[in-house]
Amino acid sequence: MLGERRSREELIAQYGEENGIYLFEQFNAFRQHYSGLTYIATGVSTDAFCREQARAEAVKEGWAFEEIQGSLSLFERLVRGEWRPEEFLVVPPGATISISSGDEIVKAV
C-alpha cells in the first residue's frame, strides 16, 4: 500500500472528524494523478510478497501494473561509503545545497 496506511476512521479517531477527514484526503490526493504502478524487483527475499502487495494496490486503484528488474547496488555503495560524485551529492557540515546549471543540477556550496 502506498502512502499513509491509516484508514479514514483511524485518522478521525486520532484527530477528530474534521481534521481526520482532511488528513485522509491529503494523504490520498496523489492517487488521482497516477494511472500505473511499477514494481522494481531487486532480488531481496521479500520480493514475492511485496510484488503481490503492489499488484493488489494497482488492481484496487484501477492502475496498470508493470514490473522491472532493479538492483540494490546504489544502496550498497551508499552504505559502504563509496560515494562517487556522479552518483551522490556529499554535503559537508556547514555547507548548503544550491541549484546549478550545466551537468550538476545541484551542488554543495
Q: How many structural domains comprise the chain?
A: 1
**Residue at 106 is within a domain:** yes
104 lies in a domain?
Answer: yes
List pLDDT tens digits, range 88-101. Answer: 999 999 999 998 77
* Residue 28: inside a domain: no
Region of residue 102 (left: phi > 0; alpha: psi -120 to 50; beta: else): left
CA angle 33, 34, 36 (to 5 degrees): 170
Binning pLDDT at 50, 70 and 90, where does residue 12 land?
very high
Q: Which domain holds residue 87?
A: 82-109
Report the predicted TM-score, pTM, of the whole model to 2 decimal places.
0.65
Confidence band (pLDDT; 50, 70, 90) for 30? Answer: confident
pLDDT of 34-80, one tens digit each?
A: 999 999 999 999 999 999 999 999 999 999 999 999 999 999 999 99
User: So what's the pLDDT on residue 5?
Assistant: 77
User: Taking CA 14 as the corner, what is the angle to CA 9 and CA 16, rounded to the nearest 5 degrees?
Assistant: 80
